[in-house]
């Protein structure tokens, strides 16, 4: 049996890794940050950022699956409660750990790379902010984040949580996040994760339309969880 708090520690570490590597990739693909570091050219672009997020999720979800489920996302933790797969108290503890992990990761990036490099108006400390965010298009940001997170939550439930989903859960989750960033990263930042947005916001004062990155992901996770619970949950189907 796992020690008390083991799940919370896993959620802290996993969310720290997601934010550190994901936000770090955004910073290091920014021409402003690269110039501040004395480098000649920014290595990579959108594909680099997408792969950084997707690969680190794949690795850490696989590593923490038996400890906490490898959630690393308050919206996913909430969705699991709605789907009947997690107790509210457990979700609350995990969400606190996730927020702390993301904040610590963003703070470390700012400390190591310095504020002028990591947190100027180019990299913005790896904040999940896109063109639609900058234009103030609240409806579009919430709508896109809702759809992206619903897709992610659906994959989490059907491949990682449901035992009928096989063993490809971590890979499927990482690939889904990669695809979502490739599709919508320039538009909204493709957060899908209130903690991932919270870290750069609290450490870098990047609160632009922050509420949209709570509403959209949480709404998407709830919708996907309800659909799964009604149509595909094994216990529900047995009662039908």
From the centroid of its chain, how far is CA 129?
13
Write out pLDDT tens, residues 27-63: 999 989 988 888 876 778 999 999 999 999 999 999 9
Sign of the alpha-carbon dihedral angle for 47, 213, 219, 60: positive
Write out pLDDT tens, residues 122-171: 999 999 999 999 999 999 999 999 999 999 999 999 999 998 887 899 99
The alpha helices in the chain, defined as continuous H runs, are: 6-28, 31-36, 46-64, 74-82, 88-113, 115-118, 131-134, 138-155, 169-188, 194-204, 212-231, 234-239
Architecture of the domain whose range is 6-233:
Up-down Bundle (1.20)
Instruction: Break the chain into its structural domains and give their ranges.
Output: 6-233
């Amino acid at each position: 049996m796992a020690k008390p708090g083991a799940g919370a520690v896993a959620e802290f570490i996993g969310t720290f890794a997601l934010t550190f590597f994901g936000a770090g990739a955004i910073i290091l693909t920014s021409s402003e940050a690269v110039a501040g570091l004395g480098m000649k050219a920014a290595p990579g672009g959108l594909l680099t950022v997408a792969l950084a997020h997707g690969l680190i999720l794949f690795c850490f979800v696989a590593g923490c699956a038996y400890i906490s489920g490898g959630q690393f996302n308050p919206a996913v933790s909430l969705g699991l409660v709605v789907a009947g797969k997690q107790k509210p108290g457990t979700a609350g503890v995990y969400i606190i750990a996730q927020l702390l992990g993301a904040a610590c990761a963003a703070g470390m990036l700012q400390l190591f790379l310095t504020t002028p490099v990591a947190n100027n108006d180019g990299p913005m400390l790896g904040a999940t902010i896109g063109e639609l965010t900058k234009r103030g298009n609240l409806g579009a940001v919430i709508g896109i984040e809702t759809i992206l997170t619903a897709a992610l939550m659906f994959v989490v439930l059907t491949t990682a949580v449901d035992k009928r989903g096989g063993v490809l859960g971590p890979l499927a989750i990482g690939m889904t996040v990669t695809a979502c960033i490739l599709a919508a990263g320039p538009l909204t930042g493709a957060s899908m994760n209130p903690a991932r947005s919270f870290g750069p916001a609290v450490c870098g004062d990047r609160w632009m339309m922050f509420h949209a990155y709570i509403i959209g992901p949480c709404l998407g996770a709830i919708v996907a969880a309800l659909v799964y619970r009604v149509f595909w949950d094994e216990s529900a189907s047995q009662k039908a």
